[in-house]
Structure 1
Amino acid sequence: MRHTANIFTLIFIIFLYSTIYCSSVPNESLSAPLLLLISFDGFRWNYPDLYHLPNFNLLSKRGVRVKYIQNNFATVTFPLHYSIITGLYEESHGIVGNTIFDPKLNAVTTLDTMNDTRWWSQNSYSQPIWTSNELANDSYQRRSGVIAWPSIGTPINGHLPVRYQLFNLTRKFDSILQQIIDWFREPAESRINLGVVYYPEPDMTGHHHGPISDEMNKTLKECDDYVGQLLAMIDIDEYLKRNLNVIITSDHGMESIRKNRTIILADYIDTKLCSAYGSRSSVNIFVPLESNINRIYANLSTIPNFEVYKKSQIPDEYHYKSNIRIGDILFVAKAGYEIIAPGDNASIELLGDHGYDDRVESMHGIFYGFGPAFHENMQVEPFHTVDIYPLMSYILKLKERKTNGSIDNVKHILRHHINNDLFDEINLLLSKTTSYVTSWGFITDGCVLLVILISIVYIIVAFRHSRQLIYAEPQFPIRYRLLSNDEGSKNNFFPDASDNEELE
């Protein structure tokens, strides 16, 4: 059945293209595919079910809603946003927290200082989707536009997108939407085909007021209104309505924090023997003298409602072990509990937080997709954050890169899934042959009739096929697959120049 559906897909595309070329409608089929990626920071997977959000509910009917996104550990903003745009786990791309210590660089960075390319370019394999789009070696004119996404403004492995604007906390989201749509609507010689946008809400409201609050209700209403504005902008523009694919997602969710669930790390360990970096939900502890590791580990193991792991013991499912920036000890709070590490301001009280075990339900994010590439009125089971990159690559017709994600995990949400190289060959063949067809006076009505007949058969087969949820094991980069799960804290992943050829 799977092969039959693919055959009918090819037949349908051939006749559809014939119709397009035979008609008098301007041909846009040779333009680069359009994709807009939007992330609402901290938008928990079940907010649309807990609050009245009519425009988010409309997205489900208009396209695909994934039950939730299974994200990476640690479930914090910068690492997960980098995973979304690279398709790599945190141990692979090296952004392992919002505060990072790198022993090789002997340096620490925070959200405010992470604008040095060394942090984002730990290895040559980390390539954001906007760079992949612009470096694609094909006949399309590709340009990327990025607004406020974590890392933007910092060259990653030597590359910046054609258009970008830095994060500005005071900027209203409606002006961001207008800017990104304007970039899509510029003349063909300058317009973008990929837009990437970040918005810091409802994360900030979640931290200050909790995920279940009147303030969250107000913020989510504003986010819902922004989605409504986006839909209106698309629907009044025939070019965007016909061609623009949109993904609306988030990095993580939000958990409620109650009083008396916070510990002071310095009360349990001698901070002169180690250093700790991370968030209130998890910290990486670096111990210069190996002889002190067992002592610190033993002290932390006595604390209830917190998990402690030596580096070699970190659960494999975290995908958070094989990197020099991960500490000798990982200390993780259970959902709703918090850690005050040295240097943190204990007087700042949070009513909501994230960063916990990625298997905790409240940590899951959202995913909606709509546009010509997606099925309509479809709700599906979860897939992983790292699967978003191969999905975007497929929609953009980019050659597949080896990442920690897999298109096999997400292809069931797409209308048509065929080999991109084959599609390009068909496209090239049709572009050459239809010029002859039109000169021979090929009857447009005949093309339309054939398309309708083939479409009927195709829809029947494809509908049956689309209801099968297909999952496959992710295909990992060779460099990462070589790492053993029991190598311990002395075998950190940090590729040097000799690795570049293998990784690229």
Structure 2
Amino acid sequence: MKHLLKSFFGFLCLFTAQQVLAQDTLQHVVSGRFNSAEQQQKPYVILISADGFRYDLADSFHATHLQQFRAAGVQAEYMKPSYPSLTFPNHYAIITGLYPAHNGLVDNSFYDINKGQLYTMGNKKAVADSSWYGATPLWVLAEQQQMLSASFYWVASEAAIQGVRPTYYYIYNDKIGIDERIAVVKNWLQLPPEKRPHFITFYLPEVDHAEHTYGVNSKQTVDAVHFVDEAIAKLTTAIASLNLPVNYIFLSDHGMADVDVNNTLPLPSAIDTNNFIIPRSNMLLHLYAKNRAAILPTYQKLKIQEKGFSVYLANEIPERWHYNQSNDYFNRVGDILLVPHYPKVFNLGSGKITPGKHGYDNDMPEMRATFYAWGPAFKKHYTIRGFENIHVYPLIAKVLGLQYQSDAIDGQLKVLAPILKQ
């Protein structure tokens, strides 16, 4: 009996520890860091991502606060996501200025043949493992130049990339309410100058969740857009009283489209799963060969079955996606890639297909993201055409006065320099 109780107690402790880890709501602070005297004089940037906030939602669903903010600053007709138009690849493209195949985060789930391991966004251990991430995120760039940074969530902010995390950061969880999160950001900006972060990331998942679950034009999505709109209004009001030179960039990672949930694509019969590792997805499917001799015969059979999707060998993927074999710096794109045609999605038997999806061709209008900017660094009443999201990185570096190696990123300052005050 004692043995059974001891075993049960051990299991209970392990289960409790896992639950605490999964919902870590504590602020993490890296000690011993200070802004240099030079960096204390710099302005501030709050980079806000509203996941799935398609380029047209503010107008379609009357996000009045965001409409006012962009009218007083800068708005782009749209921001083009990197391919694939998925959450993790695009958040990391924005924060590194590199296309996904260039920075290593090629999908929400993918396989690394050199590691012999699978990365999935739901695997907390992998998400916090810096070896999955290439490039230099903006918070790393800032910290390397003795400018403090903070993150209230962002892809890869939990990993010590190049040995560096933001000075202040949170492990992603859904337990901290928006009012508390806003209060934390305000508190950060009330710290003494030597401890005050000048670059802050802030992430809002609500619109993406509603679109996935209920569809783009659902009441729930309208409500989520209004929630985000009110949250940004609360945030700016709270910070305005501090009289600091704070610049806001509000953007999204991708758009969203309503898909055909009734006529989905099964895994093609041409694929022998004994020969390939296939991470689960409803969108693009990567086929990683266990047996390389199977690649070409499988590809040829798939070309015959090619209906509702396109199939590519790694060296045939369209160049405009910056995703083919010559762009795959980390060797993480599949040997064969299957790409569904809108409104089709793959169904590998993993459960009910939700009505809202993204991940399609980044030229598709429904995949377009949002970009607004306002604050003392930006021009007023200024509209620009659509642009690729990799160009946000050099823009933020310019506003903060951070030095970076221009040939080490894909983004170019000249694209967004015109939105800055001279």
TM-score computed with the length of structure 1 as normaliser = 0.72
Q: Distance in 1 between matches of 2:263 and 2:84?
A: 20
Distance 1:334 1:173, change over 3 A: farther
Matched position secondary structure for 2:155: coil
* Residue equivalent to 2:253: 251
Q: Distance in 2 between matches of 1:30 and 1:187?
A: 10
Q: Distance in 2 between matches of 1:360 and 1:170?
A: 34
Unaligned runs of 5+ in 2: 1-36
2:366 to 362, 367, 378: 362
Q: How many angstroms does 1:287 deviate by?
A: 1.8
* Counterpart code for 1:135: Q
Q: How many angstroms does 1:371 deviate by?
A: 0.6
* Counterpart code for 1:209: Y
* Residue equivalent to 2:139: 130
Contact 2:39 2:147 in 1 (8 A): no
2:91 to 67, 74, 81: 81
Q: Distance in 2 between matches of 1:161 and 1:28?
A: 19
Q: How many angstroms does 1:79 deviate by?
A: 1.0
1:299 pairs with 2:301: yes
* Counterpart code for 2:251: T
Structure 1 segment 111-126 matched on structure 2, within 5 A: 111-113=121-123, 115-116=125-126, 120-122=130-132, 126=135
Contact 1:76 1:97 in 2 (8 A): yes
Q: How many angstroms does 1:236 deviate by?
A: 2.8
Deviations 1:213-268 (CA, angstroms, capped at 9, x unpaired): 111111111111112112212333322xxx00111111001110123331121544
Contact 2:288 2:335 in 1 (8 A): yes
1:201 pairs with 2:206: yes
Structure 1 segment 141-290 matched on structure 2, within 5 A: 142-239=147-244, 243-265=245-267, 267-277=269-279, 279-290=281-292
Q: Distance in 1 between matches of 2:178 and 2:268?
A: 41
Distance 1:76 1:29, change over 3 A: closer
Q: How many angstroms does 1:114 deviate by?
A: 5.1
1:391 pairs with 2:395: yes
Q: Distance in 2 between matches of 1:318 and 1:115?
A: 29
* Counterpart code for 2:137: P
Q: Distance in 1 between matches of 2:218 and 2:410?
A: 36
Deviations 1:316-335 (CA, angstroms, capped at 9, x unpaired): 11111224111111111122
* Counterpart code for 1:374: F
Matched position secondary structure for 1:299: helix
Q: Distance in 1 between matches of 2:381 and 2:160?
A: 39
Contact 1:279 1:355 in 2 (8 A): no
Identical aligned residues as a percent: 28
Deviations 1:39-84 (CA, angstroms, capped at 9, x unpaired): 0111111111211110111122121011111111111111111111
Deviations 1:420-469 (CA, angstroms, capped at 9, x unpaired): xxxxxxxxxxxxxxxxxxxxxxxxxxxxxxxxxxxxxxxxxxxxxxxxxx
Unaligned runs of 5+ in 1: 1-26, 417-504
Deviations 1:144-174 (CA, angstroms, capped at 9, x unpaired): 0111212222111211111111111132223
Matched position secondary structure for 2:352: coil
* Residue equivalent to 1:406: 412
Distance 1:29 1:146, change over 3 A: closer
Q: Distance in 1 between matches of 2:118 and 2:39?
A: 48
Matched position secondary structure for 1:327: coil
Q: How many angstroms does 1:377 deviate by?
A: 1.1
1:312 to 312, 315, 318: 315
Q: Distance in 2 between matches of 1:33 and 1:394?
A: 11
Matched position secondary structure for 1:195: strand
Matched position secondary structure for 1:65: strand
* Counterpart code for 2:302: L
Q: How many angstroms does 1:279 deviate by?
A: 2.5
* Counterpart code for 1:100: F
Contact 1:249 1:366 in 2 (8 A): yes
Structure 1 segment 80-99 matched on structure 2, within 5 A: 80-99=90-109
Q: Distance in 1 between matches of 2:40 and 2:51?
A: 34
RMSD: 2.0
Contact 2:260 2:345 in 1 (8 A): no
Matched position secondary structure for 2:279: strand
Distance 1:348 1:316, change over 3 A: same
Structure 1 stretches (4+) deviating beyond 3 angstroms? 27-30, 114-123
Contact 2:129 2:159 in 1 (8 A): no
1:67 to 77, 80, 87: 77
Contact 1:43 1:201 in 2 (8 A): no
How many residues of Structure 1 are paired with residues of Structure 2 in the alignment?
Answer: 379
Q: How many angstroms does 1:297 deviate by?
A: 1.6
Q: How many angstroms does 1:115 deviate by?
A: 3.5
Contact 2:214 2:221 in 1 (8 A): yes
* Counterpart code for 1:334: H
Distance 1:278 1:80, change over 3 A: farther
* Residue equivalent to 1:482: none
Q: Distance in 2 between matches of 1:94 and 1:29?
A: 30
Matched position secondary structure for 2:194: coil
Q: Distance in 2 between matches of 1:28 and 1:134?
A: 13
Distance 1:113 1:122, change over 3 A: closer
Q: Distance in 2 between matches of 1:157 and 1:236?
A: 36
Q: How many angstroms does 1:120 deviate by?
A: 4.3
Q: How many angstroms does 1:117 deviate by?
A: 7.3
Contact 1:59 1:65 in 2 (8 A): no
Q: Which entry has the higher C-alpha Rg, 1 or 2?
A: 1
Distance 1:393 1:92, change over 3 A: same
1:53 pairs with 2:52: no
Q: Distance in 1 between matches of 2:179 and 2:251?
A: 17
Contact 1:183 1:192 in 2 (8 A): yes
Q: Distance in 2 between matches of 1:375 and 1:121?
A: 39
Q: How many angstroms does 1:28 deviate by?
A: 11
* Counterpart code for 1:253: G
